[in-house]
Amino acid sequence: MEQRARGAPVAVSLAGQGKLADINVLDPSTAMELLRWRRLEVNKLAIDTTPLRVDLGEVALADFFARVVLSADGRLNLADLYRAEEARAPTSEGLPPPASENKAATAAAALPIRVGRISLAKGNINFTDLFIKPNYRANLTDLAGTIGPLKAGAPGEVKVNGAVDHSAPLAITGRLDPFGAALALDLEAHAKGIDMPTFSPYSGKYLGYAIDKGKLSVDLEYHIENGELRAENKIFLDQLTFGQKIESPDALAIPVTLAVALLKNARGEIDLRLPISGSLNDPEFRLGAVIIQVFVNLIVKAVTAPFALLGSLFGGGQDLSQVDFAAGTAALAPATEQRLEALAKALADRPGLKMDITGGADPEADAAALRRLALDRRLRALKLAEAAKKGQAGGSLSEVQLSAEDYATYLALAYRAQVPPAGAGT
């Protein structure tokens, strides 16, 4: 410890290493275990207060446990613990703010912290949601991997593996900068084969049905830079089957079973893409709420505009709800044939769907077109008959070609045959 000048702040420097073993932290409100670890080691520790600088070498955390609880009134236990510490801290009410506080509130600064590497082994994070009834519980188990090195402006590598409830593999990879002026990350998370019946508390509350069976796999990509979030959520549901209906005032007023039938293919699979974007600087932005809204919009689209949904899946975004024919004919244009093929593929891939077909006609346009087609056939027949009289090879009407000169010639013949000259037959 060194005082540099009279009235100047005390400058403190610390160096060494540290170890905390067999630590248990209890939740003061419930006396339940909140945090626990068998071993926490820092092989290098250097701290300076003037200017502030924290330099950690390798941090090793092994045999650790954390309990995250969302209470019945929607509060996280960890947040409550932080608020309790704030309440116990002395207040500065009535005291003038430090000279530097005015600037700190207006501009974020990078944290002068460097961590060489964080090693994780044998980790377990338990999550309990008491807000939902019945309660939901999940475990991230067998967590292990490395994070870092971490330093402001230099994102560190993330490689963490684990499982959901000891069964569904979980992998998180990418890069992370938590110490910069703004959080920056580029992460991917993959989980495969999560049992879906465990989500019945949520499906019952918001969809009105329990889940009997199914497996969930997710591929998530999240990118945050300068406070802007871009994310891609790829969700794969295998053999999703709803069970008993549950009366819930919060259930969406949509035909859920129809939506599932539209989304599920012949193999019982549902493949969803939910892109998300937004500004973390917006105080109204809530990631969970945005994801739910995107999912709800997809379901609503499925049940209110099913052909548009099928078109986005199979028809390159085309609306497959109707097929247009040229007036007076049943022949399909090549583009229309492609749309019908896309619809046929969609229906074949979704055997649970049934489709009603309703025909329509335009009395004026179709009547005029049919008259033109009848005249065209009459003129072709006249040319074909004339060729036969001359001993020329015949053929079908569709093979007869009419030039502009032919059209005028045979139109005159047809007219004279239909309308005799004045005075004829008298």
pTM summary value: 0.69
User: Within this chain, do residues 64 and 201 fall inside the same structural domain, yes or no?
Assistant: yes
The answer to whether residue 155 is domain-embedded is yes
Give the pLDDT score at 311.
66
The torsion defined by the Cα of 249, 253, 254 and 257, in degrees rounded to 10, comes to 30
User: Within this chain, do residues 49 and 181 fall inside the same structural domain, yes or no?
Assistant: yes
User: Within this chain, do residues 381 and 262 fall inside the same structural domain, yes or no?
Assistant: no
The torsion defined by the Cα of 235, 239, 245 and 246, in degrees rounded to 10, comes to -40
DSSP letter at 78 equals H
User: Within this chain, do residues 73 and 188 fall inside the same structural domain, yes or no?
Assistant: yes
76-95, pLDDT tens digit by residue? 776 666 555 555 555 545 44
User: Within this chain, do residues 144 and 267 fall inside the same structural domain, yes or no?
Assistant: yes
pLDDT over threshold 50, residue 3 = no
The answer to whether residue 223 is domain-embedded is yes
Tokens of 309: 């949904």
Residue pair 224/183 in contact (Cβ under 8 Å)? The answer is yes
Spatial separation of the C-alpha atoms in residues 103 and 109, rounded to whole Å: 10
pLDDT over threshold 50, residue 270 = yes
User: Within this chain, do residues 271 and 382 fall inside the same structural domain, yes or no?
Assistant: no
Domain tally, the chain: 2
Confidence of residue 273 (pLDDT cuts 50, 70, 90): confident
Give the pLDDT score at 1.
42
User: Within this chain, do residues 256 and 133 fall inside the same structural domain, yes or no?
Assistant: yes
Give the pLDDT score at 368.
86
Residue pair 246/204 in contact (Cβ under 8 Å)? The answer is yes
User: Within this chain, do residues 385 and 236 fall inside the same structural domain, yes or no?
Assistant: no
Give the pLDDT score at 2.
46
List of residues 6+ apart from 56 with CB closer than 8 A: 42, 44, 45, 46, 113, 114, 115, 116
Tokens of 30: 């419930």
Which of 221-230, 260-269, 388-397 is least confident?
A: 388-397
Tokens of 258: 């129809």
pLDDT over threshold 50, residue 186 = yes
pLDDT over threshold 80, residue 383 = yes
Long-range contacts of 142-148 (CB under 8 A, 24+ apart): 142/166, 144/120, 145/119, 145/120, 145/172, 146/117, 146/118, 146/119, 146/120, 147/117, 147/118, 147/120, 147/176, 148/115, 148/116, 148/117, 148/118
Spatial separation of the C-alpha atoms in residues 212 and 195, rounded to whole Å: 10
Q: E strands along 209-368, which residues?
A: 209-225, 228-245, 269-279
Confidence of residue 345 (pLDDT cuts 50, 70, 90): confident
Which of 21-25, 187-191, 237-241, 410-414 is least confident?
A: 410-414
Structural domain harbouring 409: 376-418
Give the pLDDT score at 118.
94
Give the pLDDT score at 394.
64
Give the pLDDT score at 307.
67
42-85, pLDDT tens digit by residue? 998 888 888 888 999 899 999 999 998 888 877 777 666 655 55
Give the pLDDT score at 259.
82
Give the pLDDT score at 122.
96
Q: Which residue has the higher pLDDT, 106 or 326?
A: 326
Confidence of residue 305 (pLDDT cuts 50, 70, 90): low
At which of 245, 275, 305 does a domain end?
Answer: 275
Give the pLDDT score at 316.
57
Give the pLDDT score at 145.
96
The answer to whether residue 332 is domain-embedded is no
At which of 251, 275, 299 does a domain end?
Answer: 275
- Helices 256-263 & 306-314 angle (0-180, nearest 10): 20
At which of 225, 250, 275 does a domain end?
Answer: 275
The answer to whether residue 140 is domain-embedded is yes
The answer to whether residue 1 is domain-embedded is no
Average pLDDT over residues 420-426: 60
The answer to whether residue 16 is domain-embedded is yes
The answer to whether residue 139 is domain-embedded is yes
The answer to whether residue 288 is domain-embedded is no
Residue pair 27/81 in contact (Cβ under 8 Å)? The answer is yes
103-142, pLDDT tens digit by residue? 444 345 788 999 999 999 999 999 988 888 888 888 999 9
User: Within this chain, do residues 262 and 394 fall inside the same structural domain, yes or no?
Assistant: no
